[in-house]
Amino acid sequence: MMCLHYETFSTLECRSAALRVTFSTNKNMKYFKTIAIFQYPAEYAVLQLLFEQEEIRYFFMNETMISVFPFYSNAFGGIHLKVHVEDVEEAEEIIKNLDRPSNLKIV
């Protein structure tokens, strides 16, 4: 599932293969929790793919604004990774696994 945040319209659009939902962030933001903050979009590219594979409900708040104005990242408080409260444990486990050393080497 892929979720996008549109700051201008204050809505959250979530997409998956079988489901497409748009709802007001004012009512449903309480179901999402910030579990990480990034400065630039490149920092979470791999994480985004892993979340989509595991069908974790998430979105990145401030992503659009920082993509347009990258030097404003600190002013906006970074890009907040928001995960649905039911998926927080699984998402944190994926992040923890990324921090573990592996046998893969960049050459």
Tokens representing 57 are 């409900």
Q: What is the pLDDT of residue 84?
A: 95
**pLDDT for residue 16:** 43
Cα(74)–Cα(99) distance, rounded to whole angstroms?
Answer: 24
C-alpha 44/C-alpha 52 separation (Å) is: 12
pLDDT computed for residue 103 by the predictor? 61
For residue 67, the model assigns a pLDDT of 85
Question: What does DSSP say about strands 32-38 and 58-61: parallel, antiparallel, or unpaired?
Answer: unpaired
Domain boundaries, the chain: 2-99
Structure tokens at 103: 């046998």
Q: Residues in the chain with pLDDT < 50? A: 1-2, 4-13, 15-24
Query: Which stretch of DSSP H or E encloses residue 47?
Result: helix 45-53
Instruction: Say whether pTM exceeds 0.95.
Output: no
Give the pLDDT of residue 91: 94
- pLDDT for 99 equals 75
